[in-house]
Amino acid sequence: MDVLKAIEKLAHQAREERIPEFDVADRVLQQIRPAEEETFGLLAFELFASASAVAASVVGYFSVSIWKLITSPLMQFFAPLQEIRLW
Amino acid sequence: MCEELVQEVFVEAYFSLKSYRGQAPFLHWLRKIGTRVGYRFWKEQAKTKSYMPLTDIDAIEGRDKDVIESSEAAQILHSLLAQLPRADRLVLTLMYFDNCGTKEIAERMGWNRAMVKMRALRARKKLKTIAERENLLEKLGWMS
């Protein structure tokens, strides 16, 4: 008999092996729970970060428009003197 | 060990649920995770260089039974396959134990089908050499 045929025969026999059953539900839950809590903590942090980013954007939007209105005090030196009519 | 691996499969499945698109049956998706967890386990096992001893094969030699027990057959086959490189071992394990075709193996591992075919061919040759070196036929003479 060919070795590979013998192996095929072994494999055929091996496939009939009864697969053991394990109840891992409790241990899986134990492993998942801490990670879940961590995820919730992270979620709160993400929410706070998002709210901060929105607030910063609003402030930034108004700041830019106001910034444009501000004139530099240095520019006053170069600005032409206004003539005042004395009489 | 098996229990720990089963646990790992379910934990990994839980955290990968987002990646499940519902296009294929859930069982296929879970099998994919199971295969990858097992494959990773072999990698870790290879690092520690702990493998199944081949004495199991010697243990069956000279037994009076005419038919080999399925668990014994599985043990022998596992110990032979354990001597192969990891990827070869995976391909043949899925073929022999799960009755998988090359297409399914390629899908489970995200490999190219042609590559799986080639690997299966080479792995069989390597397995043949190993089995001959171990005098498998002589030891299983009563099976033929």
CA distance B119 to chain A (A): 16
**CATH number assigned to the domain covering B1-50:** 1.10.1740.10
Q: Please, are residues B39 and B90 in contact by the beta-carbon 8 Å criterion?
A: yes
- pLDDT recorded at residue B105: 92
Say which range, B20-24, B113-117, B121-125, has the weakest mean pLDDT: B20-24
Q: Is the pLDDT of residue B53 over 90?
A: no
**CATH number assigned to the domain covering B55-144:** 1.10.10.10
**Fold match between domain B1-50 and domain B55-144:** no
pTM listed for this prediction: 0.68
Tokens of A18: 């009864």
Please name the residue that has the structure tokens 């879970």.
B30
Q: Report the alpha-carbon angle B19-B5-B127, nearest 5.
A: 100
Domain ranges of chain B: 1-50, 55-144
- What does the pLDDT look like over A37-79, one tens digit per residue? 777 778 888 899 999 999 999 999 888 888 877 777 777 677 6
Q: Is the pLDDT of residue B56 over 60?
A: no
- What does the pLDDT look like over A8-28, one tens digit per residue? 888 888 888 888 888 888 998
B136 and A20: CB-CB below 8 Å?
Answer: no
Mutate to test the interface with B, among A1, A2, A3 (most CBs of B within 10 A): A3
CA distance B32 to B94: 11
B71 and A27: CB-CB below 8 Å?
Answer: no
Q: Please, are residues B3 and A26 in contact by the beta-carbon 8 Å criterion?
A: no
